[in-house]
Chain A
Amino acid sequence: MYKILVMFMVFTVSSVSAMEKSGGHGSHNHESHNHESHNHSASESANGSDIAFPEKMFSEFISDLANVQIVIVDVNGMVCDFCARGIEKVLYTDDAVKKVRVSLELGKVLIAYVSSKKVDFEEIKNIFLSNGQNATGYIIKKI
């Protein structure tokens, strides 16, 4: 039994090493660099974000919104619903936040801020860090 557990631990540790070596950079979806057009954006700026959000999801997200700016945040460590839960809770404590959508599959969070909000990526990074995750990049779209 002990041998089985040791083998399990070795397997786990080696899996961790292998996946973490490739994971941080290996999961890039190469649709990322095509800067998929969303047609809604009057303007767009990006900083370190690697993947554009799929058009259909984005359209659904903004369908009931107007005069907002959408910040699409890339997140590391958002691997389960239970651990992502705090992000939404903390973001909604800000009156400037109108809507939030989490995508576990893409490792991204969409945040709809009122258009008057001055988006500060350091503030966003701190919000994600307070939930134990790392925001690594973002795109801003004004609609």
Chain B
Amino acid sequence: MGIFKHLIFAITLFMLSDLAESRPVSWAGGSTIMYRTNSMMSSYLFHYSPTYKYSIGAEYVNDKYFNNHFINLRSTYLLDRHNTKISQRNIYLTGGISTKTNQDFSYGIHGDWETRRIFSSFSVINKHTKEKNYTENEFQLGLAPYLGEYNDIHTWVMLKAKKNTINNDWEIYPFIKLFQGDYLIEVGSKNSHWDVHFIIRY
């Protein structure tokens, strides 16, 4: 693919968005179901990856802050990946658009770098709604207390820092990420609000 077509494709996907999540693109032919809930919203997402470079999907969103319900069409594009024997680094562009109104859309960038022991990620997502435009920033840092082998239960102790330009306050809180086989769950809590993320891959 020529660089121009590559760029057009990336920009198109970039214009479609929502939240950054763990492993937003699967293997070629892989499908993913996700549930997420936090103080701002809860959502159910299905996405499919035709290749390991991008995923397309639909998400039902209950926006608690603006008391709104809608379906988002979403896509994520793996802009760059660098593999070494001990690490993987990814940069993704992500985008989504509401089926309810074309005034609700979002786009952003998400990156991560991990080894078997350390995980780090960031995301910057711009959200445009009828009511307000705002940006969500998020950073995560994680440590695996032990190194599990394939098929073991894997545990990560994580720290998340996030801020949106509505509240303009950083929230920092710990959470736990557990996964085994095709299942992953993240659970955290901040000021009595649960932040839960559940993923199944197949």
Contact = CB atoms under 8 A, between A and B. Distances in A.
Contacts of A25: 85
A84 interface: yes
B201 A129 contact: no
B87 A23 contact: yes
B182 to A, nearest CB: 6
A35 interface: no
Given A9-B122, A85-B201, A86-B30, A76 B149 contact: no
Chain A contact-residue range equals 35 or more
Interface residues of B, number: 44
The prevalent SS among residues of A at the interface is: helix
Given A5-B139, A77-B81, A82-B23, A102 B150 contact: yes
A19 B87 contact: yes
Interface stretch (B9-17, B93-101, B112-120, B189-197): B112-120
Interface string B109-150: 000011110101010000000000000000101000001111
A130 B28 contact: yes
B88 A83 contact: yes
A80 B52 CA distance: 16
A120 interface: no
Interface in A94-136: 101-105, 107, 129-134
Given A5-B139, A89-B27, A131-B28, A16 B89 contact: yes
4 nearest A-B pairs in the assembled complex, by CB-CB distance: A77-B83, A86-B27, A23-B84, A130-B28
Interface of B: 22-23, 25-30, 51-52, 78, 81-89, 113-116, 118, 120, 122, 139, 141, 147-152, 154, 161, 170, 179-182, 184, 201
Interface of A: 1, 5, 8-9, 12, 15-16, 19-20, 23-27, 74, 76-77, 79-87, 89-90, 101-105, 107, 129-134
